[in-house]
Structure 1
Amino acid sequence: MEITQLHIKNMVCPRCIMVVKQAFDQIGVEPLSVELGEVKLNDELTTEQQKRLDDLLQKNGFERIDDKKVRLQEKIKTLIIDTIHHKDPYDTHIQWSAFLADQLHYDYNYLSGLFSSMAGITLEQYIIRQKMEKVKEFLFYDELSVKEIAYKMGFSSVAHLSNQFKKVIGMSPTEFKKSIQNTQSRKSLDQII
């Protein structure tokens, strides 16, 4: 029995895992495991099962990935999103270059170059943008001070966080808190580029 790995684009949260599991239920296939961006199966899918799965995934905003470089880019995104948005407590002293190289078993310069060429922004910019979305979430729920958010997100100071926030979001964290009534202020994590 050979284990088959499928790579699924845009899986960024536990709810995504649930939706992808439901898609496999609908085609009558029981996965060995479903994780962010990856599904393991006992056997290969038939052509008909692949077609039905692709249709179900697409209806829910997902896509099966066949290209090796695209899969690696999605793994990078998934790892960053999972680390920033779903790990608690957040490791404030993470060295992204070492972390990504260690987790993905590629040289960081290769990962960074691949990501930049495919996404149109640098890996560092992507990480900052993801962090800013998490900061927006903290500000939205108003449970932490800006100083606590800066510490939790690994910024050296409130000023450093505020400068990055203003550069990416276009306003200071304080201005953002005042404008929270704007429902367009938060983005879906898979839409950040």
Structure 2
Amino acid sequence: MKRRHQDFPLSSLFLVIAVTCMFLAAGCTDTAPALSGNIRDDAWKTIELEEVRTGERFSVGSFAGTPVILYAFTVSCPICTRQQQEMTALKKSLGDDVVLIGIDIDPREEKATLIAHIEKNGFAGYYALSPDEMTSSLVDRFGPVVVTPASAPVMVVCRNGDARLLDTGIKSTSSLASSLKAVC
């Protein structure tokens, strides 16, 4: 009888841990629904960005007529670096048929650190430090997932300007190419 009494707290602890894990895991899936292109808050398309290596000024909208893949990241995020590798492979595969824009959403990031990260890894595309208004506008349009770098947020802007947020998680080069075709 004493043995049963000693096991009860251990089994209760196990139950509490199991319920806690289920609670924490609730809603955590490897996919999220893509948002409809019908929602309009397109300020992020016209906000001026500066390419950190060249100083060239541009906006997402300045590439109208060419599909744009826009992704948010931070230099310190290993998942982001992996996604950037896939993006670079896509750019090498599609060439001028797609524009890649990486925006560093870490407000403390230094331009020199971002340049070193790009050059060290040989990443392709345009890179900019995201101004606060760009980050805020993206959150308004796509939700807080765009400021969660570990979710590898990627947005596709089609030739006609429609924009979609792709599923969360690292997207392979072939998955990105397929998504680009399917969405645009």
User: What TM-score range do you get, normalising by the shorter chain?
Assistant: under 0.3
TM-score (norm 1): 0.22
Question: Greater relative contact order: 1 or 2 (C-alpha under 8 angstroms, separation 6 or more)?
Answer: 2
Q: Could you say which structure has the larger radius of gyration?
A: 2
Give the structure with the larger strand fraction: 2
